[in-house]
């Protein structure tokens, strides 16, 4: 699928691992309860309704990638950096908004549980893998990424983000999944 993605530059590649510099972008985000696997399903429908016109101006917004999911304890203010911790099984699930929008030009969500927030430019360590979305795979690749970061002297400074790039009807071997961990820079 040829859809817009959050913009980044690859700084380093090592097999399935990358270090990236992301440009600033905007998220439409909702906080949901549930397990890692349940959260994405719970959040998808209200976020999809928002980009399909469930907003004050009834304007449709193009689908982008990835759909991201991150552990959180509370709703984040629009200008806060991505830096949260897992508390009581809550998850922030988000859609990246197209780069043609600003916070001022994005339609206001009709659903009061959806917030819009600017994510500043940042650096991440990433692991890329294919297959079905499962907690088992998430935990396996997160552990591999953390070991790679330690071996390469990268310090994580935020919670992992689980990024999914394909719709659920995609064949398992064509799905692109990633785990992104914000890292400190020199």
SS (H, E, C) the chain: CCCEECCEEEEEEECCEEEEEECCEEEEEEEEECCHHHHHHHHHHHHHHHHCCCECCCCCCCCEECEEEEEECCCCCCCCCCCCCCCCCEEEEEEECCCCCCCCCCCCECCCCEEEEEECCEEEEEEEECCCCCHHHHHHHHHHHHHHHHHCCCCECCCCEEEECCCCCCCHHHCCEEEEEEECCC
pLDDT, average across residues 49-74: 81
The predicted-structure confidence for 134-163, as pLDDT tens digits, reads as follows 888 989 999 999 999 999 999 999 889 888
Q: What digits encode the pLDDT tens for the residues 124-138?
A: 999 999 987 788 898
Computed over every residue of the chain, the mean pLDDT equals 84
- 76 pLDDT higher than 50: no
Q: How confident is the model at residue 126, as a pLDDT?
A: 97
What are the two backbone dihedrals, phi and then psi, of residue 50, each rounded to the nearest 5 degrees? Answer: -60, -50
Fold for domain 4-182? Multidrug-efflux Transporter 1 Regulator Bmrr; Chain A (3.20.80)
Q: How far apart are the first and last CA of the chain?
A: 36
Cα angle: 104, vertex 2, 162; to 5 degrees: 70
Q: List pLDDT tens digits, range 58-69.
A: 899 987 777 787
Query: Are residues 116 and 102 in contact, defined by beta-carbon separation less than 8 angstroms?
Result: no
Its pTM stands at 0.83
Domain ranges of the chain: 4-182
């Amino acid at each position: 699928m040829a859809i817009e993605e959050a913009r980044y530059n690859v700084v380093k590649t090592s097999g399935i691992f990358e270090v990236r510099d992301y440009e600033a972008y905007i998220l439409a985000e909702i906080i949901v309860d549930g397990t890692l696997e349940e959260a994405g399903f719970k959040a998808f429908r209200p976020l999809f309704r928002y980009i399909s016109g469930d907003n004050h101006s009834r304007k449709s917004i193009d689908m982008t990638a990835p759909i991201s999911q991150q552990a959180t304890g509370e709703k984040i203010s629009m200008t806060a950096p991505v830096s949260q911790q897992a508390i009581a099984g809550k998850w922030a699930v988000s859609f990246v908004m197209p780069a043609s929008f600003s916070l001022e030009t994005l339609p206001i969500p009709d659903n009061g549980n959806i917030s819009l927030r600017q994510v500043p430019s940042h650096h991440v360590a990433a692991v890329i893998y294919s297959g079905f979305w499962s907690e088992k795979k998430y935990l396996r690749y997160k552990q591999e990424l953390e070991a790679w970061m330690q071996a390469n002297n990268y310090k994580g400074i935020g919670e992992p983000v689980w990024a999914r790039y394909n719709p659920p009807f995609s064949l398992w071997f064509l799905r692109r999944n990633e785990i992104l961990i914000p890292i400190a820079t020199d």
